[in-house]
Each structure stands twice: as C-alpha cells, then as structure tokens.
Amino acid sequence: MAIRFSYPVRVMSPVVTTVDDALELRKEIEALERAWHGPDNTAEKATSKINSAVLTVTRNGKSDFQDRQVYLYVDGELWGKVRYGRPVTREIPPGHHKVRAFNTLFSHTIEIDAVPGEHVKLRCTNGLGKGGWIMMVIWQVAALRVTLERE
C-alpha cells in the first residue's frame, strides 16, 4: 500500500551531494535554531510596535521542590499550572496586572505594569521556608512556600 501526500514532501537525506545543497541545509538548520532559541537579545527589554505585551512565568530554580503543583492566576483568571522546567507564556493587554501563584497551601501575589510590546518575565519558586527541614524531620510535614519575583 502506497502513501500519497497532497502536498510536496521533502525527504531529508544525511547525504549531501552538492555545495548548494549543503548551504541550503545549513540555512534551514540555522532558521530552526533561531526559532527554537528565540531572539539573541532576550536579556534586554524588547519593545516593538505591538499593542499587547507578553508575560512569561518560569519555574526552574535549584531550590524548587519540583513536585507540588503551582496554579497561576492573572487578574483573577486561572491560567493553569506552572510545572517545573516548563514556562507559561501568554499575551496580556498593556497596563497594571496582578499575578498570583498558589500551591494549595500558600500563595504569593505581585503587581506588574506592562507597556505595549514588553516581554515581562517572572520567576516562580516553590520551596521550603524557614525551618522547613526541621518541620519535615519532626512532624513529617513539608510546608512549601511559593514566591514570585520579576527577572
């Protein structure tokens, strides 16, 4: 049984026959790397002529407990769970916003101001508070505190 495609399919071959094929393949790889890694100047605040802003919440700190879920609310609307190592990114309207992280025991809320075209980045950490290890050893209870901070 033969499989037929209604659109042209390019089969990637590990064998490159000409210099032109090699250059074309290199350009495709560079384009894929740029799309995967994003723009080069991500440390700077990027502003453009867009009428919206972008909010990214990451959770990848070394002191993070990594197991307990953290729910993310923006202006009272549930955005979903922030999982360890998986950032949550969405567009937001410019202006003042309240971002709340809630781990079903503690919550932390911060207020941000976003300008049009800005990429606001927040770091979420869900870890043991002061005396957390002592509580874990004595009472076998881990009280994880959630925090949000702007990068």
Q: Is residue 107 part of a domain?
A: yes
User: What's 134's domain CATH number?
Assistant: 2.60.40.10
The residue segments making up the domain with residue 112 are 53-150
Task: Calculate the CA dihedral of residues 125, 127, 129, 135 and round it to 10 degrees.
Answer: 170
Q: Is residue 18 part of a domain?
A: no
Percentage, residues of the chain above pLDDT 70: 70
The pLDDT of residue 68 is: 80
Q: Is residue 80 part of a domain?
A: yes
pTM: 0.61
* CA 134-137-142 angle, 5° bins: 75
Q: Per-residue pLDDT for 15 more than 70?
A: no
